[in-house]
Every structure is written in structure tokens, then in C-alpha cells.
Amino acid sequence: EVQLVESGGDWVQPGGSLRISCAASGFTFSNYWMSWVRQTPGKGLEWVANIKQDGSEKYYLDSVKGRVTISRDNAKSSLYLQMNSLRAEDTAVYYCACPHYYESGRFYVDYWGQGTPVTVSS
Amino acid sequence: IQLTQSPSSLSASVGDRVTITCRASQAISSYLAWYQQKPGKAPKLLISAASTLQSGVPSRFSGSGSGTDFTLTISSLQPEDFATYYCEQLNSYPLTFGGGTKVEIK
């Protein structure tokens, strides 16, 4: 059974830092790109970052560039998101996701975690 | 690339035919996904590549379109279909989602 289990979500003051993690199991983690997607309270979904299988390529949402770093440890089947200089607008549930399903040149997210909440507030 | 979903919400009855549209601000070929999300749950992939139904998804769901205009159709709404639906484009970074369509019981 595929599992993506996020952890590390917390309350943090504006300007602070936080690292959230995702432990993957049930599939060959090192074979797939991985993603972070967030959802603000009562609002929609927002893609945050992607990382290639070996970590050599990373892509970010413009509003988090320079403040957020996606990384992975394939030996531990784990994904991370280091968030610095946090702002109130970063408050969201952060989902770990795997674009595992391939079709016609693109990988689609069909594996999702349960989400970890991050609150940025003074 | 901006994705505009319409309507943002709708009320419908069991058995109704429901159509949700997603319009991209520029052409995205068929690199579009549709997700269903229920309260407190992660999204679920329904359709990939604009029209491919995922395994286990009921055949009452269908997707169509290419370029800039896409639709998700539920041919006969069932009680378990009341949820929020999102489109996502995978044509280019940054990946983007539509604003969502909440389907409620009439």
C-alpha cells in the first residue's frame, strides 16, 4: 500500500523557519519526481515545488523562490521542505505528493499524503 | 498559465448532468488533470491528459478538450459526487490549479 506521511507542521511566527518532512512507502521512491502542494484554509490548491528523482532539478512557485528549498533523501525514502522567512500567506495545509502516473509525456499526481498544517501568525 | 474554472459553485440534484469548465490563459495541449476533493481529504485524481479516466473512477465522469478549453462532465450525479473539483495544468512551470468548483446538493 502506498503511503505518504507528512510531519513537522507547526505554528511559527512571521519571519521564522520550519522544515516539514514526508516519509514514503509502498513504491520505489527514488524512481519518481516528488512534489509539495499546499491548500490555504477554505481556499484552493497551489503547487509549491517539484524535485527530480536525483535532486538535480528543482522548480518552485514564484512567491516562495529564495525562501523555500525542496530536498530528498532517497536512502530514507523521504522528502523535505525547508521554509524560511515565513509569511502569513504561507499559512496552509502542505501536501506531499507523487506524480506517479505517466501519460503522453507528463506525470500526474495520483499519490497524496494526508497533509500537515503550517500556521504563520504572531 | 492561469486556469479559470466555472462556475465556482453549483447546486444540483441526484441524477442531474453536471458540466464544469476550465479555461487556460494560453494553450496547454492536453496536459490537464481533474481532481475531486472531499472535506478534510486529499485530492483524488479523476482524469489525466484531459480525457483519460483513471482506474476505478466511475464511467459517469468524463473529460474533454484541448488547447485552452476543457470540460469535466458528470452524466448522472450521485450522492458521493458532492465535492469540490479542480483542474490542473501540467504544460509548463509553474504548475497551476483552477480555483475549484464546489458541487452542492440542491
User: Is A17 in contact with A31 (CB distance < 8 Å)?
Assistant: no
CB contact under 8 A, A104 and B30: yes
pLDDT of amino acid B26: 98
CB contact under 8 A, A105 and B31: yes
CB pairs under 8 A between A and B: 57
Model confidence at B76: pLDDT above 90:
yes
Q: Closest partner residue to B100 among A44, A47, A59, by Cβ?
A: A44
Cα A72 to Cα A61: distance, rounded to the nearest angstrom: 18
pLDDT of amino acid A67: 98
CB contact under 8 A, A108 and B96: no
pLDDT of amino acid A41: 77
Q: Which of A8-12, A81-85, A98-102, B14-18 has the lowest mean pLDDT?
A: A98-102
For A101, which residue in chain B has the nearest alpha carbon? B48
DSSP label at B68?
Answer: T
Cα-to-chain-centroid distance, residue A85: 17
Q: Closest partner residue to B97 among A44, A101, A112, by Cβ?
A: A44
Model confidence at A43: pLDDT above 80:
no
Q: Which of A41-45, A75-79, B4-8, B99-103 has the lowest mean pLDDT?
A: A41-45
User: Is B22 in contact with B98 (CB distance < 8 Å)?
Assistant: yes
- Mean pLDDT, residues A21-42 taken together: 95
Cβ-Cβ contacts under 8 Å, B85 against chain A: none
pLDDT of amino acid A17: 98
Model confidence at B27: pLDDT above 90:
yes
Indicate the pLDDT class of residue B62, thresholds 50, 70 and 90: very high
Cβ-Cβ contacts under 8 Å, A36 against chain B: none
pLDDT of amino acid A73: 98
Model confidence at A109: pLDDT above 80:
yes
Of A43, A46, A47, A44, the C-alpha closest to A34 is A47
Number of helical H runs and strand E runs in chain A:
0, 11
Q: Closest partner residue to A44 among B45, B52, B86, by Cβ?
A: B86
pLDDT of amino acid B48: 97
pLDDT of amino acid A42: 75
- Mean pLDDT, residues A39-49 taken together: 91
- Mean pLDDT, residues B8-24 taken together: 97
